[in-house]
Each structure stands twice: as structure tokens, then as C-alpha cells.
Amino acid sequence: MTGVEREEHPTACSMQVALEFGTRMEEAGVRTRMDAFLAGLTDFLRDNGCRLIGHIKGLLDAGDSGQLFFSVTSFKESPRYKGGIDGEIAEAELSMNVIVYGVEEELVSRAIHEQLGKQFALFPL
């Protein structure tokens, strides 16, 4: 028997944390840090067996300063953003959902925390 492949099931992971930036920054600075986080996360996942990104999406809630939604659906595309942040912020709450194929949930969760920790201080909600 040749060509038999096992069925691939998605791995889903969600989390909520408070992020502190270490300094006050405008939306452009926040996006730069989020871009670095998401690039690190997708690189790590790809390098550790992830075959497909269903989605990596999240919401940065900066309270009265606004909300920034982000989404990644491919290893090759840049993150897409919607919404916005007014003025400068030093912290925000992050809600995030990930669906990927080819890696276990424990690895995804660890990768998220490690990559977030490179850009932000994290605090559980």
C-alpha cells in the first residue's frame, strides 16, 4: 500500500494577556512590535512542522485609546490590521486565537508566549 497519508486535524489555541510596552508609543510603534511578534511566531511554527495557518488573529484593546485587530492567514503574507489606536499607549490587553495544522497545542502555546515575551512584558488576565 503506497500513498496513504494520515488525516491532518487542526490545532486551536487561544489566550488573553495584558501587555506592557515599557514606554509610551503611538500606533506605528505598536504595529512594528506586533509585526516582529507575528513574524517570529510564524517562523517558529513553520520551522517546527506547521504545514498550514488557518488563522492567527487577535485584538489589542487599548481601552479609551482604541482597538487594533490583526490577522495572519499565510506564511508569505504580512499581517493585516483594522481599527486604530489614538495617541500614545503604554499597555493593552491582547486576546488571540490561532488555528494551525501540523503542530501540537503545547508547542503553539509555548511559541506564542516566547515570541510575545521578546516584544512585550506579559501579565495574565
The whole-angstrom separation of Cα 47 and Cα 27 is 30
Number of domains in the chain: 1
In a domain, 5, yes or no: no
Domain containing 107: what range? 10-124
User: Mean per-residue pLDDT for 41-70?
Assistant: 97
| CATH at residue 56 | 3.30.70
In a domain, 52, yes or no: yes
In a domain, 39, yes or no: yes
Query: What is the reported pLDDT for 7?
Result: 54
In a domain, 54, yes or no: yes
User: Mean per-residue pLDDT for 72-76?
Assistant: 96
The whole-angstrom separation of Cα 119 and Cα 30 is 10
| CA distances for 90 relative to 73, 84, 118, angstroms | 28, 15, 16
Q: Using 50, 70 and 90 to split pLDDT, how confident is the model at 123?
A: confident
In a domain, 96, yes or no: yes
- Report yes or no on whether pTM surpasses 0.85: yes
Query: What is the reported pLDDT for 5?
Result: 46
Summarised one tens digit per residue, pLDDT across range 81-108 is: 999 999 999 999 999 999 999 999 999 9
